[in-house]
Amino acid sequence: MRLREKVCLITGGAAGIGRATAAKFAGEGARVVIGDLGEAAGQEAVASPGEAAAFFRVNVVDRPAVQAWVDAVVDEYGRIDVLVNNAGITRDAQLVKFKDGELVGQMEEEAFDAVVNVNLKGVFNCTQAVAPVMIRQGSGVILNASSVVGLDGNFGQTNYVATKAAVVGMTKVWARELGRYGIRVNAVAPGFIATEMTNAMPEKVLDNMRSHTPLRRMGRPEDVANAYAFLASDEASFISGAVLRVDGGIVIGT
């Protein structure tokens, strides 16, 4: 019960890593509040024993909506102890794609902007809304979802890699800015994790992911949730500004 009675916000908490994190935190005694666009999945998580205590439909890109969510949580629980910035999307494409000397495709501006808005601006919006609450109470933990591709790069993911690399940078800045108020800020960088999104990929792609992972398996959402739980707990009380890889020792090739 490392998170007993702590109020924990998790964005993108209705599915995948977010839902596994919600269940893990609840099992550690936390009061978990999910923010997600997936209404049905979010309500299901709230209804499931041992998972979330509350669900709010919120778009992390919408700053006023995020503020309204944070204000509602504070009105209900009186505090916010942990924020997990987990929400994220992908819109993969090569920067430019050539065939027989001709340009045949490229990453669309809309795809670039969509990923930046959710994965980067969303993290900014939620952290900026929550930080004053934590400053006033003199404590808090902020955990950001990066990725191994944000550290190493990856083919066909200019937009996604840019956001996950930027999240690492913001994590280090906020650790410096907010540490004086008793707030710790860290990031987790998962490798290839078996979620609803990856399960829809062709088996050939999944085999390639496994072959590049020394442990020869995909990670489980629970593997990442366990890392978040440790970093959220007092066991990590002197860890801030860190990036924890949860990747099975992955080596990303070209």
Is 181 labeled as catalytic in the residue annotation?
Answer: no
Residue 108 forms part of a structural domain:
yes
In the structure, what pLDDT confidence band is assigned to residue 253 with cuts at 50, 70 and 90? low
Our measurement of the distance from residue 40's CA atom to the centroid of its chain's CA atoms, rounded to an integer in Å, reads: 20
Q: What percent of the chain has pLDDT over 70?
A: 99
Question: Is 253 within the bounds of a domain?
Answer: no
**Average pLDDT value for residue range 193-199:** 81
Burial of 162 (0-12, 13-18, 19+ CB in 10 A): middle
The mean pLDDT value of the chain amounts to 94
Residue 168 lies in a domain: yes
Look up the domain containing 90 and give its range. 7-246
Residue 252: inside a domain: no
Q: Using CA atoms, how far apart are residues 94 and 52, in angstroms rounded to an integer?
A: 38
Q: How many domains does the chain have?
A: 1
Is the pLDDT confidence value at 49 over 80?
Answer: no
Q: Is pLDDT at 91 greater than 60 in this prediction? A: yes
Q: Is the pTM of this model over 0.85?
A: yes
CA 37 distance to own-chain centroid: 14
Residue 1 lies in a domain: no
- Indicate whether 209 belongs to any domain: yes
191 inside domain = yes
Residue 41 has pLDDT above 60, yes or no: yes
> What is the CATH number for 148?
3.40.50.720
Phi, psi of 127 (to 5 degrees): -65, -40
Main-chain dihedrals φ then ψ at residue 109, nearest 5 degrees: -60, -40
Residue 41: name the closest of 87, 92, 83 by CA: 87
